[in-house]
Structure 1
Amino acid sequence: MRALVFRGPWDIAVEERQDPEAGPGEVLVEVLSTGICGSDLHGYTGENGRRFPGQVMGHETVGRVAALGPEVTGIAVGALITVHPVLSCGACPACAAGLDHRCPTKRIIGVDPAISAAFAELMVVPAANVVPLPENVPVEYGALVEPLAVGHHAVERGRCGSDDTVLVVGGGPIGQACALAVRRLGVTRIAVSEPHAGRRSLLDDIGVATMDPTAAALADQAAEVLGGAPTLVIDAVGSSRSLADALAVCAAGERVVLVGMHEPRVSVSAYSVSLEERSLVGSYCYTGTHFRETAAWVGSAPPELARLIEGRVSLVDAPEAFRALANGDDGSSKVLVLPDRG
């Protein structure tokens, strides 16, 4: 099979590798489409130190079941599926509580260098991590389940309700996912702060109000667009600057969710938290339940999902796509890698 192999910072290339085979309890997947995630880009540039030479990355994926390993039942060859990337032990207290993403021994497809992941023509995954999709859903939507699940989990972590007024800081793929998750809960007062004009245009196209944080004070814009200070702010960037903005605009006594991971360390004004009694909540990844709930929603084929995809490349063209996205030459929000387009 062909696979996109990370060789080191700013170096990724297509290589021929042996076709994998499904073992006991595993499924062989023919990959149809895989999204390039921000974490993939940070790994590609060497920023996050979480990708290693020889690794095949990719975790936002959709495919078809190509073969079943021994002992696998209940899954049909040829079925359209996505893959829950978190591999947990299933026996620890976190797993027993349905919080598999907090499992102390978890491994994540696309992050663990020992797992050949989704930027390839084929991949092997545990049958328990296969999540079916309806045959009538646009195939590419399956590659959006993973980032959309991140947004769904962040919104749940913020205890979002239909009466909330919500501001999302950052309009990239995770910010878009958060905005859509908020809207699924019936929230009507929602806006996204995003300096990039192209991303504001995308959000406008899917019916989410936007504001440009470089144009005027965020608090003033929130008052105008939302009618007052937001009761829930979701930081989908994850920098000292974005978190400061989130805390500054959040109503007293309310909640800020930190889901973005742009910087591994951020500074926080203690007074912004303590004096106004704001709650700062972390959000990472998703539970298996939240992933499957998101897959079910994607399976209903919401029409706005088509607008989230702004680029498609073959495996052969993927190295140039990585380079262009990482250095800012390409401002596309979500780019998919399609193995069969080369």
Structure 2
Amino acid sequence: MASDARPGVDLNESLGPEYAAVIITTCSIAVITLLLRFYTRLFILRTLFPDDYCIIGGMIGTIGMGICYGITIIHGFGHHIEAITPEDLQMQAKASIGGLVFFHWSHAFVKSSILLQNLRLCVTTLEKRICYGALAVIIAEGFVWILLTFVSCTPFQAMWSPHLAKVSCINQTASYYSCAALIILADCFIIAFPAFLLRDSMLPRSQKWAVGAILALGGGACLVSILRMVYIYRSTNSTDSTWDKIPNSILGITEVNMGIILSSLATLRPLIKRIRPSLWAISNVPSTASCTHHNPTLQRRPRPANGDDSVLGRYSNNDGEDGSTTEKGCTCADGGRTDGAAPAELEKTEPEIIPPRSNNIVG
């Protein structure tokens, strides 16, 4: 044992098993949803997108976190500090550095994946610039935090050997609070950005809300980030750090896994529609790319000059997440068909064409 126990402290008590259970559970759910995402992309939509490749980087990061934090548990993390030897404390500190690097790595990849998903919905130059700008900020932020992890103490060995002479370290509490605040800010942007993209959509309001909610799922980890801020001060200013850091660590790995889980759930709509079409009312939203010639009320603003047909109203058509199909012979909501066959009541008359609202084009 490292030292005698304080009064009322049980040296055999440990939160390690609970922490390990959270790591295994959240990582397992994240892997399952990721596999379902790739099944949907490869076997239903038969295509992959940049955001799919990016989310793999996020999953690698969260698995790396799980491994590093598992090592800390093996070396006593979750026990009271009096029950841990100096050698184990050093191993915990070294593994925690790796876990922190993977934490920032995973956050950068997961948020980049969500932004790349939203980028396919951007029509105007303004929207694309905002999305690219946010993407650049997220990548730069992740790089800075990873770099800061390695320079937070001088010399570097002081991160696991605090008793070295002439040690200089940054304020860990301020660093953690700053990181958490920036993560929350990024999550808030991810939640709000779909509303900006759907602002000119002619979808019914209820369907706008549904589509926006699907796209904003990836920002749902914001709630965990906010909760984690409550425990930062306690975990960085505790005299029993190996015990008091457990809540913050649990929320940290839950946060990144929730980002993967929720962003992947947002891509499973074609799979859910195939299994249970009645589960989501929005499943009946027709593809405007194939059906607006039969139903003028579904028209949107014009496509970009480059002819990109990746937008379903303001929703991606070629990724299939709208739940519609552009296969020959599909039936539209108004009874029209994409193979050119018109319904009986429309055979003798030309449909009325409502001009798109070109004044909505920003760039």
TM-score range, shorter chain: under 0.3
Q: Greater share of strand residues, 1 or 2?
A: 1
TM-score, with normalisation over the residues of structure 1?
0.24
TM-score, with normalisation over the residues of structure 2?
0.23
